[in-house]
Amino acid sequence: MSHRIVVVGHGMVAHRFVAELLAHGLPDVTLTVLGDEPEAAYNRILLPDVLPGHLDLAGLTLPAHPGVDARAGVRATAIDRGRRVVTDDAGGEHPFDTLVLATGAAPVFPTIEGLRDSAGQPMPDVTALRSWADAQHIRAAAAEGARVVVLGGGLLGIEAAVALRRAGCAVTVIHRGGAPLDRQFDALSGRVVAASLADHGVAVLTDCRIAGIERRWNHALKSIRLTDDRRIEADLIVVAIGVEPRIELAARAELAVRRGVLVDDLCRTDDPDIHAIGDCAQTGRGCQGLVGPGWEQARVVAHHLAEKIGGRARPRPTLGFDAGVVRLKADGVDAVTMGAFPADEFGLGAPRVLGFVDAAGRRRVRIAVADGVLVGATCVGDPQIAADLTVAFDSRMPVPADPAALLARPLAGAAPAASVLDLPDEAVICRCNAVPKQAIAAAVGGGAASVPEVAEVTRATTGCGSCTNDVCRLVEALGAAPSALVTEKEGAFAVA
């Protein structure tokens, strides 16, 4: 009899889990996925990109998995652990041998007067950006020129703010802490990000508390009042103060929960046939709220099930757990942080910490090195260094003898190119024909008075032609009559 796996939730982690499991090619497994959103599985991370208006639902939709019973718009309402059955909101029953909870996390709305209606639902001009429906809501509400206030200057808030700005809105971010992104980034990095955001037309107000929401007689949003009595006028509020794992289903089924559904290293709940992965799961590392760790959990569970059900497995994946690279996804504002920094850089045996801040240049780079590899890094405002550090961190590449070399890198071509006249005699001028400067000098000395004449003797310029200008300059400087120079733009050259 086939092994029945039911997955509750069809977000990015659930989708990945199904893909991972299918890759094991297990026979006799039936897979049912219950997604409560009306859309097929889609990439939530790209939601901010929907706001400027080019990305449609098809651009977010993840590949359908053949042979999988994936149901959209079906919400699981109860788990009967005794009968091994999940019930849905249409009364359907889904028997399982293994259950995987991937219910994700829900946005948190602050408890402030004026955000919710009498039924406790967010007012029409208050929304999160967590679902396709939210994105559609924002697009409809925030036309070009609309004033939008984003509550929360964390990753999701800043990403939403930058996308709204790209969509033409006037955006203000209201943040509780002293600097944006302060959950993951150090304060200096946060300040550099804030300055960079200001350059892009996104205002970030820090150390703010909201006193209240002010509305007009018709309940339309007027402004957000801060505790220092500042008022920020707004047409729309986007809430991004955080998320909380969706654990109601698990809690009602009396699985062990704390902030999230408690799981072990194999993402098993206290019921060994029920797993939890992604944002709803609480591992030994807590609830990370990032897709990377969620995908790693999806892989671990798929591998475990392949062993358990199939009695066989493909080689264990070689990539370890996701080490946690946090990357701001905002066009034009580059910020990434990874690993950890010591609390005390001067402490005995502490990793070596190096860094600099360049406030005017909107740059901040900081790294921590231990045992010859990168153990922490933060980079704001330097996309190339950010990418290099990420790759070095992920690959555990040994760092250079002086790790300071990782902090900045001269851009190719940034140094003024040496004039061909200053190059040493043995420098190769024409690579295609391996012609050194001295050979060109000798040709000119021997009477060659133009580029074609030098070419005739040395073959310089007759390959790709990229050195034609250099050879021309040499001929000129070495004394040929300028009238004899021929610079062939087309690059055609033929020996008669």
Partner 1 sequence: MVATHCPYCALQCAMDVAPTPDGPTVTPLEFPTNRGRLCQKGWTAADVLTASGRLTAPMVRGADGTLAPVSWEEALDRVAGELRRLRAAHGPESVAVFGGGGLTNEEAYQLGKFARVALATPNIDYNGRFCMASAAAGGRRAFGLDRGLPFPLTDLDGAEAILLVGSNPAETMPPFVTHLAGAREAGGLVIIDPRRTPTADLTQDGGGLHLAPLPGTDLVLLLGITQILWAEGLVDRGYLAERASGVDALRASLAAWWPERVERVTGVPVVQQRAAARLLAAASPARGGRGGYVLTGRGAEQHAHGTDTVTAAVNLALCLGLPGREGSGYGCLTGQGNGQGGREHGLKADQLPGYRTITDPDARAHVAGVWGVDADSLPGAGPPAVALLASLATPGGPRALLVHGANPVVSAPDVGPLTERLRALELLVVCDFVLSETAALADVVLPVTQWAEETGTMTNLEGRLLLRDEAVPPPEGVRTELWVWRELARRLDAPIDFSEDAAEVFAELARASSGGVADYTGFSHKRLRAGEALYWPCPEPGHPGTPRTFLDRFATPDGRAVLHPVDETPPDDLLDAEYPLYLVTGRVLQHYQSGAQTRRVAALNSVEPESYVELHPLLAQRLGVEAGERVGVHSRRGSCEAVARLSEGMRLDTVFMPFHYPGRGAVNRVTNPAVDPVSGMPELKVATVRLERLVDAPHSFAPAPGDAA
Residues of this chain that bind partner 1 (CB under 8 A): 12, 42-43, 45-46, 49, 53-55, 58-64, 318, 325, 327, 329, 331-332, 334, 383-384, 386-388, 390-392, 394-401, 405, 410, 412-413, 431-434, 459, 462-466, 490-495
Q: Closer CB to partner 1, residue 44 or residue 94?
A: 44
CB of 413 to partner 1, least distance (A): 4
Q: Let me know how long the chain is.
A: 496
Distances (CA, A) of 154 to 181, 228, 242: 5, 22, 8
Do residues 138 and 129 lie in contact, with contact meaning Cβ atoms separated by under 8 Å? Answer: yes
What is the rounded distance in angstroms from the CA atom of residue 106 to the CA atom of residue 220?
Answer: 25
Of 68, 67, 55, which is closest to residue 14 (Cα–Cα)?
68
Q: Which of 14, 289, 56 is nearest to 156 (CA)?
A: 289
User: What minimum distance in Å lies between the beta carbon of 412 and partner 1?
Assistant: 6
Amino acid residing at 179 = A
Complex with partner 1: residue 39 or 273, whichever CB lies closer = 39
Pick between residue 91 and residue 410 the one whose CB is nearest to partner 1: 410
Classify 469 as helix, strand or coil: helix
CA–CA distance, 323 with 326 (Å, rounded to integer): 10
* Nearest residue (CB) to partner 1, 332 versus 445: 332
* Nearest in space to 141 (alpha carbons), one of 160, 117, 120, 124: 124
Q: Token digits for 339? A: 């690993």
Rounded alpha-carbon distances, angstroms, from residue 459 to 49, 474, 496: 54, 15, 13
What is the Cα Rg of the chain in Å? 30
Kindly state the smallest distance separating residue 259's Cβ from partner 1, in Å: 26
Task: Name residue 88's amino acid.
Answer: D
User: Of 6 and 328, which has the nearer Cβ to partner 1?
Assistant: 328
Residue nearer to partner 1 on the CB measure, 114 or 351? 351
Distance CA 387, CA 12 (A): 24
Q: Closer to partner 1 by CB, 72 or 123: give it.
A: 72
Smallest separation (angstroms) from partner 1 to the CB of 319:
9
Query: Closest by alpha carbon to 36, among 97, 77, 78?
Result: 77
Q: Which of 301, 262, 390, 266 is nearest to 13 (CA)?
A: 301
CB of 212 to partner 1, least distance (A): 36
For the bound state, the minimum distance from the C-beta of residue 164 to partner 1, rounded and expressed in Å, comes to 16
What residues have CB less than 8 Å from 418, skipping those under 6 apart? none
Report the C-alpha gap between 361 and 26 in whole angstroms.
54
Query: What does the buried/exposed string (b/e) look like for 323-350 if buried means 16 or more CB atoms within 10 Å of the residue's CB?
Result: ebbbbbbbeebbbbbbbebbeeeeeeee
Helix, strand, coil shares, percent, the chain, to 5: 25, 25, 45
Q: 3-state DSSP call for residue 121?
A: coil
Give me the amino acid identity at 117.
D
Q: In angstroms, rounded to a whole number, what is the distance separating the alpha carbons of residues 196 and 165?
A: 13
CA 20 – CA 491 distance, rounded (Å): 55
Where do we find the tokens 């609309």?
146
Is residue 159 within 8 Å of 137, Cβ to Cβ? no
- DSSP class of 62: P
Residue 495 beta carbon to partner 1: minimum distance, rounded to whole angstroms = 6
